[in-house]
Amino acid sequence: MKSKTSSAQAQVVSNAGPLIHLAKANVLYILKALYQTIIIPQEVRVETVNRGKEEGAPDALQIEKAIQEGWIKTQKVKINKEFQKAAKTAGLQKAEAAVIQYAYQNQATALLDDEPARAFAKTLGITIRGTLGILIEATKREIITRQKAQQTLDKLSETMYLSAELYKITRKTLSLI
């Protein structure tokens, strides 16, 4: 499979959801192919690796390996009090707030799946992409085949919440690539 990536890569910061979902579907590698480097706040590392290993989740080992390989980088993000207050009012967890603050401060794309976090990020003008958008982009760039993408979508539907409508829309989008 060819890897089509652009030479000038924008910064990308990820919340736990896309990392966990892609790792559970055994396609975490598409993040590296798409973006080369992914930044995660320390809170996301705790959620994905530390807690994941405590719970015996195999995806935690995949994410930890990517950190050890250096293409997922942990970053300390200082959340200012006003931002934290607004994020809390919006119902966001500390890790989501850290992802959004980092994206805002660094004009980075935020990888987010949860709707409240996506809505909050949109109000700040942050470019966002979720797990399904990542899957579609990887297919468009021929990092994975359409067949692999559709198989991955089926795996994702078993490990993350997808409405029937969103599943159908994504499946149709993949079939048109």
CA distance readout (Å), 75 to 10, 20, 98, 149:
16, 18, 10, 30
Contact predicate 134/121, CB 8 Å: no
Contact predicate 120/112, CB 8 Å: no
Within 90-145, residue ranges assigned H as helices are 94-106, 115-123, 131-140
pLDDT over 70 at 52, yes or no? yes
| pLDDT value for 166 | 94
- pLDDT, averaged across the chain: 93
Which of 113, 110, 115 minimizes the C-alpha distance to 98?
110
pLDDT over 80 at 4, yes or no? no
Using a 10 angstrom Cβ sphere, with 0-12 exposed, 13-18 middle and 19 or more buried, the burial of residue 10 is: exposed
pLDDT digits (tens, 9 = 90+) for 128-151: 999 999 999 999 999 999 999 999
Using a 10 angstrom Cβ sphere, with 0-12 exposed, 13-18 middle and 19 or more buried, the burial of residue 170 is: buried
d(CA 132, CA 162): 10
What are the residues whose beta carbons fall under 8 Å from the beta carbon of 92, sequence distance 6 or more?
100, 116, 117, 120
pLDDT over 70 at 162, yes or no? yes
pLDDT over 70 at 8, yes or no? no
pLDDT digits (tens, 9 = 90+) for 73-104: 999 999 989 989 999 999 999 999 999 999 99
What values do phi and psi take at 14, rounded to 5?
Answer: -120, 145
What proportion of the chain, given as a percentage, has pLDDT over 70? 95
CATH ID of 12-132, from 3.40.50.1010, 3.40.50.740, 3.40.640.10, 3.40.50.880: 3.40.50.1010
